[in-house]
Structure 1
Amino acid sequence: MLYRKPVPFFTVVFAFVALLAGNAHADTAAPHLANVTILATGGTIAGSGSTSTTTIGYTAATVGVNSLIQAVPELNKVAHVTGEQVFQIASENMNNEYWLTLGKRVNELLARPDVDGIVITHGTDTLEETAYFLDLVVKSHKPVVLVGAMRPSTALSADGPINLYNAVLLAASHEAVGQGVLVAMNDQIHAARDVSKTNTSTPDTFKTTELGMLGYIQGNHPYFYHRAMRKHTADTEFDISKLQSLPQVDIVYGYANMGPAALNAFVAGGAKGIIHAGVGDGSLANKVKPALVAARKQGVLIVRASRVGQGIVARNGEANDDELDFVAADTLNPQKARILLMLALTRTSDSKEIQRIFYTY
């Protein structure tokens, strides 16, 4: 019999520990990270103030996308991040041309296999409008997340860095696939169609007050509790790939003692559609109704919305829409009804078909 020298006990222990450590390393190896592109458009998240306590009166859209990314090194833990400066504006200057440029660029990127999701940094003033426009024209189920900030990057309590981190985390997640365009602000997840800015200055300004937000971001993970039920993104009928412009649609705001002057000016200026942001359930004042009827007879599409901010504008409720050949906005606020009408007019001028579109999206 061959004699084998006994193996020292500590050698066995060390080998066993090394084996466990190796298995543990295999189990905890870094997961595959998604590729997320950040498209920067300006806004407060890219703003700067004269002092660290300046939270109003700052200058928006001064910080470039690379600086935004470098300010949040933790992004590298949740995604492979690249940045692109699409434009650099304060969001009150957003317009149709910028939307078409942004929408086409988003579709170009999402068509690439090496892009898993997109984050768009944006000023908060018109963020909800850009989000809804993209919700209607993006041709992919990959995540698209809009994010902004209510305090500039130089403020002591700047909310931009954590908002940006959460947005990238969300865009890189499997949970966000197929959820439509999302808004990530203040640790919350909102659907583009239903969210609105509700406060002029506080960080919790974005809310889906009546229909409810979709979920939270907590502990480096998104949690969804609801889904957006209206059609969106890859399931819509809208195609902007060859569009160079959008039809002119304007909003007329309802108020006591309202007259037809603004409406008539918009029609004379070439409006193809008018959103009437009426009082209550989209009511029509006696002084304005004849001008709306005249505009419709000239071929201008009229959509009855409400300035209230919540609730359904009932078809044939405060006005006989069938008789007047008007369209009811359903639950869309006036600014979002404008976006849907613009896109609807690229496909049809039939009011009944446009009413179907409003009930679909």
Structure 2
Amino acid sequence: MTQISEIDARSRSIFKTLVETYLETGEPVGSRTLSRREGVDVSPATIRNVMADLTELGLLEAPHTSAGRLPTERGLRLFVDGMLEVGEPTPEERAVLEKQAADGDAQGVLDSAADKLSGLTRMASLVMASNSDRPLKHLEFIRLDDTRALAVIVDAAGDVENRLIELPPGMPATSLIEAANYLNAQLSGRTLKEAREHVLQEIEQRRTQLDDLTAELAKRGIVELSNLPERGGRQLIVRGQSNLLAGAQDDLERVQQLFDELERKEGLIDLLEAAREGEGVRIFIGAENRLFSLSGSSVVAAPYRDSDRNIIGVLGVVGPTRLNYGRVIPLVDYTADLVSRMIR
């Protein structure tokens, strides 16, 4: 792949100005238009020669209907990685993002973040969270036979998770009821992670009124439930798909393709999982991600964390490759930091 160091200073300047102009207008950029831009002090003929060289390098392409050029996905990647000037959210944008359910639960914070981010960027927003991070509402054990029971847990959003657990030998029916009652008293308002730490500590320090068999069941139940598979425990929030229609009258086929891609929940979760691997904002441009290879869309995403700095989810936006990266990146970054602070 072409590196910035392989392009001379004049070509870099012209390329940078061309990409910025394209991101502003959405139209192919011609040499005459570039020659009129501030900071460009070379002739249209020189610009045409540079544009031809950049096209040969695979950084620009020429639509059939225009003499102008626009950046390829490779060119956009080069621009984003080495030439993009990223600003800060404005005070007004910060105020909008901070006007969230500060005193509400984690679910309310995530829903609000998705709505605000979509509104500010005029793109579709994506938020991936673990269902195990939701506050819990109710748990019960249903005996299947002498050695097994089904643990059923309901979270604050009404979603249900089931888990098969092994029963301690000789477990009487009353112990299932007592263990469930004890756990329900401890779980209320806590996440699975919080509940596990609290319950295990209480049992270890013998601060409960449970007999040994019932305590063992409560211990097994909370451990098994907190080890629910990652795939089954993912919640995906998508907001603002209608924003993608704005200004897309000439490219409705691409937008429809993007809508179809957004319906593939598993693919979206895989994409956002990839964003968990980085420390900060991750940017996926067009065919760099298999999910959006057909619509040619970009995703800007960043992870958010719990009080122990563990990554517990990812949020971001998706839109055309011609999005305002310099504005969107800091908005996504600030929202991820804000959510991390609000759900701790």
TM > 0.5 fold call: no
Q: What TM bracket, shorter-length normalisation?
A: under 0.3
Work out which structure has the larger RCO, using CA pairs closer than 8 Å and 6 or more positions apart in sequence: 2
TM-score (norm 1): 0.23
- TM-score w.r.t. length of structure 2: 0.23
